[in-house]
Structure 1
Amino acid sequence: MAGPPPKPWPTGTVEQLEPLVARVLAPNPSPYTYTGTQTYIVGAEDRIAVIDPGPDDPRHLAALVDAIGGRTVAAIMCTHTHRDHSPAAKPLAEATGAPIVGCAPLVLDDSGPRADASFDRTYEPDRVLLDGEGMTGPGWTLTAVHTPGHTSNHLCFALEESGALFTGDHVMGWSTSVVVPPDGDMGAYMASLDKLYGRPDRVYYPAHGAQVDNPRQLVRGMIGHRRQRENQIVRILSEGPLTAADFVPRMYKGLDPRLAGAAEMSVTAHLLDLERRGLAGRSRDVWTGP
């Protein structure tokens, strides 16, 4: 997990990344959001799309309205409904008259360690996109790519004209995605990584951190990293019964203490996947080998 770049960060500033893509950084940095949530504006003419509007923060909403600049918003599109991604959809829709389009609504009681990982209970899409469905505007086409794992409702959006993929939290260059059960699912996450590895996307624009210019190389490395973690867990399990928390100090050397809970949930996600495959067992909170 990489540390954030030196300040100042371009919070609230419109950054033009390519002719059809601009980015606005929200003021919500944290150990889990890096420098903050990145909202993307797609389109170069008078009809645009907004991807991952971010937190319901008046400063970010004002920055987005300024960036839109009176243009028509064809759709406000959300990759998933964690609270750092979708809550601004409703006020932005009220400000622009745009429909909310994208992932399905999902509300769970989150018992995990992340304050920003509870689900957005205000999210009410006007249209849910299935895998392969999309939105169009002048010179742009965005196609939904279903990528469950980080959450069960996670979507990426492919910009067909430029080969860009907006990856939300599924793939990020600065960190691996946190997979938090019960909604987060490691088996589904790995299958979604395999799905992206088979695609020809030119560049990834994640919701946190820098763009990824070598997508397939990064995804291949992420798959390998997860397999290494899995093998590590199987090896530790062979030494005797353990709780999920017992794995963390043995697997994550030098871990920021603020991330210990997230690491435990990631281990739990791996253990649940191993259990489904007959490679681990448990009695209450204690895990054993098969």
Structure 2
Amino acid sequence: MALPPQPWPTGQTEQLEPLVARVLAPNPSPFTYTGTQTYLVGGDDGLAVIDPGPDDADHLAALVTGINARPVVAICCTHTHRDHSPAAAPLAALTGAPVIGCAPLALESDAPRVDAPFDKAYAPDRVLADGEQIHGPGWTLTAIATPGHTSNHLCFALEESRALFTGDHVMGWSTSVVVPPDGDMGDYMASLVKLHERDDRVYYPAHGPQVDNPRQLVRGMAGHRRAREKQIVRLLEERPQTIAAMVPVMYKGVPEFLWPAAAQSVHAHLIELARQGSVTQQEDGQWSIA
């Protein structure tokens, strides 16, 4: 999806509904769309801050302006990629609020990155398990475990308005990048099924526009992944192939600078297909039908 025309509302506090406001961070990229969206949930008596974003002085200043001296009950992170959680520590120092949400996770890898690196400094005061809640004046957030994009990914459900803050698991502008070894396609698909079984009214993702047709979008994303899986199987039925050989065929028309990300998704699909016993990797690095 092409970026929307500028100016973007970077640094502004946008009120989306009575209990939800949004502040856009100044970190646009091919993988973050117009930037990371931080959400302020609550009212005058207390807020939760979801996905505080990058440790950027301008963004922190914009968050302080949006908070507007209101008490902050919790700073919540969906996962620990560095476009989501690094501002948690400085914002906690400014507000005195605890950091509550996903578990710490920081992986080292020599492979070229197609997603944001992990935040090594993330240190939560409390880690939420699936179904655990945070309460504030007039609002309740429930943690929904949604591994796949990362193993520690959480969504947060605002019970009072049936809104779901989906982080990077579901976004309206793009599918989520699933990068092995931590990203797991089987977990990602199971998490999509989990969300499809819910009855959320709206999704507020960390990147891109809000999603007003959540179940329809999730159904389409799952179908897209299944179609990619079938495409991989068809290619391997022709002959054993490497990922590098499959990507130009599978992603014809996609700009080449996005092929490394596509290769990671193909790899994630192959790992899941191998787990199911459908494909196998040969000694020369090629993949084939099992």
TM-score (norm 1): 0.98
Distance 2:101 2:230 in 1: 35
Q: Distance in 1 between matches of 2:150 and 2:115?
A: 13
Number of the residue aligned with 1:104: 103
Runs of at least 5 residues in structure 1 that lack an aligned partner in the other structure: none
Instruction: Say what the alpha-carbon RMSD is for the aligned residues.
Output: 1.0
Deviation at 1:114, TM superposition (A): 3.4
Q: Which residue of 2 aligns with 1:194?
A: 193
Residue matched to 1:128 = 127
Matches of 1:29 and 1:116, distance apart in 2: 13
Pairing 1:48-63 to 2, within 5 Å after superposition: 48-63=47-62
Moved more, 250-259 or 195-204: 250-259
SS at the partner of 1:238? helix
Q: Which amino acid aligns with 1:225?
A: H
* Alpha-carbon shift at residue 112 of structure 1 (Å): 4.5
AA in 2 matched with 1:287: W
Helix, strand or coil at the partner of 1:22: strand
Contact 1:243/1:286 (8 A) holds in 2: yes
Deviations along 1:94-118, one digit per CA (max 9) or x if unpaired, are 1111100000000101345436521
Instruction: Look up the equivalent residue of 1:87 and give its one-letter code.
Output: P
Matches within 5 A, 1:60-209: 60-114=59-113, 116-209=115-208
Instruction: Report if the CA contact (8 A) 1:21-1:42 is conserved.
Output: yes
Q: Secondary structure at the match of 2:258?
A: helix
Q: CA deviation at 1:241?
A: 1.5
Structure 1 residue 196, shift from structure 2 partner: 0.2
Query: Does the 8 Å contact 1:37/1:208 carry over to 2?
Result: yes
Whether 1:268 and 2:254 are equivalent positions in the alignment is no
Contact 2:114 2:261 in 1 (8 A): no
The alpha-carbon deviation at position 257 of structure 1 amounts to 2.2
Structure 1 residue 81: deviation in Å?
A: 0.3
The answer to whether 1:231 aligns with 2:201 is no
Q: Is the 8 A contact 1:112 1:180 kept in 2?
A: no
Superposed CA deviations along residues 32-52 of structure 1, whole A, max 9, x for unmatched, are 000000000000122100000
TM-score by length of 2: 0.98
CA distance in 2, matches of 1:273, 1:116: 20
The 1:206/1:112 distance shift into structure 2, 3 A limit, reads farther
AA aligned opposite 1:264? A
Unmatched 5+ stretches in structure 2: none
Residue pairs, 1:19-30, within 5 angstroms: 19-30=18-29
Shift of 1:260: 1.1
The answer to whether the Cα contact below 8 Å between 2:172 and 2:209 also exists between their aligned partners in 1 is yes
CA contact (8 A) 1:204 1:213 kept: yes
Judging changes above 3 Å, is the alpha-carbon distance between structure 1 residues 203 and 118 closer, same or farther for their aligned structure 2 residues? same
User: What SS class does the counterpart of residue 229 from structure 2 fall into?
Assistant: helix
> 2:232 and 2:111 mapped to 1: Cα distance?
20
Q: Is the 8 A contact 2:178 2:264 kept in 1?
A: yes
Equivalent position of 1:286 in the other structure: 286
**Runs of 4 or more off by more than 3 Å in structure 1?**
110-116
Percent of aligned positions that are identical: 71
One-letter amino acid of the structure 2 residue matched with residue 28 of structure 1: N
1:259 and 1:111, CA in 2 relative to 1: closer, same or farther beyond 3 A? farther
SS at match of 2:238: coil
Give the conservation status (yes or no) of the 8 Å contact 1:146–1:154: yes
**Cα deviations by residue, 1:57-87 (Å, 9 ceiling, x for unpaired):** 1110110011111111100000000010000
